[in-house]
């Protein structure tokens, strides 16, 4: 999934401004984003204080980290040119519509939003419980 995500990012226009990662967790992908786009100031947000503490040990320079609920982001409108949300909109307690509304609000005009969510109910496993997956999505038929 990481390779797929990087391939998708490579196909997007280079972000002209700041990058936001929603649900950055312990910061592994945040660090990869910072390596891919070193000029852009990035922000990784997560609701978990423990995850942010772990990320602060992993990330020794920008991006910045912030505690935030992706359904009520503490950023001004049109702040980011790229918003990345990997496996966050499908988490327990997340209203995907509210999260999507907030993502669009903080995204600049002509910016890009890259989402990845869990799919196919038949793929549900113990991993879902371990990683707080609350729902799996499908394309309506």
Q: How far is the C-alpha of 97 from the C-alpha of 39, rounded, in Å?
A: 31
What's the confidence (pLDDT) of residue 112?
Answer: 95
Q: Which residues contact 136 (CB under 8 A, 6 or more apart)?
A: 90, 117, 118, 119, 120, 121, 123, 124, 128
| The predicted structure's pLDDT at residue 35 | 84
Per-residue pLDDT tens over the stretch 26-84? 888 888 888 888 767 788 999 989 989 888 888 766 578 899 999 999 999 999 999 99
Give which of 27, 138, 136 is closest to 92, Cα–Cα: 136
Residue reference for tokens 């509304």: 101
Cα distance between residue 118 and residue 67, in whole Å: 23
pLDDT per residue over 91-131, tens digit each?
Answer: 778 898 999 999 999 999 999 999 987 665 655 666 655 56
Looking at the predicted structure, is the pLDDT value of residue 138 above 70?
no
């Amino acid at each position: 999934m990481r390779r797929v995500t990087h391939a998708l990012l490579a196909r997007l226009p280079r972000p002209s401004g700041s990058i936001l990662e929603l649900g950055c967790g312990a910061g592994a992908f945040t660090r990869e984003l910072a390596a891919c786009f070193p000029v852009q100031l990035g922000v990784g947000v997560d609701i978990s204080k423990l995850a942010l503490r772990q990320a602060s040990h992993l990330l020794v320079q920008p991006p910045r980290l912030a505690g935030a609920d992706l359904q009520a982001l503490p950023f001004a409108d049109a702040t980011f040119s790229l918003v990345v949300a990997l496996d966050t909109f499908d988490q327990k307690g997340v209203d995907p519509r509210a999260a999507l509304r907030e993502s669009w609000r903080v995204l600049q005009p002509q910016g890009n939003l890259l989402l990845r969510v869990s799919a196919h109910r038949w793929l549900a496993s113990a991993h879902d419980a371990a990683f707080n997956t609350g729902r799996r999505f499908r394309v309506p038929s």
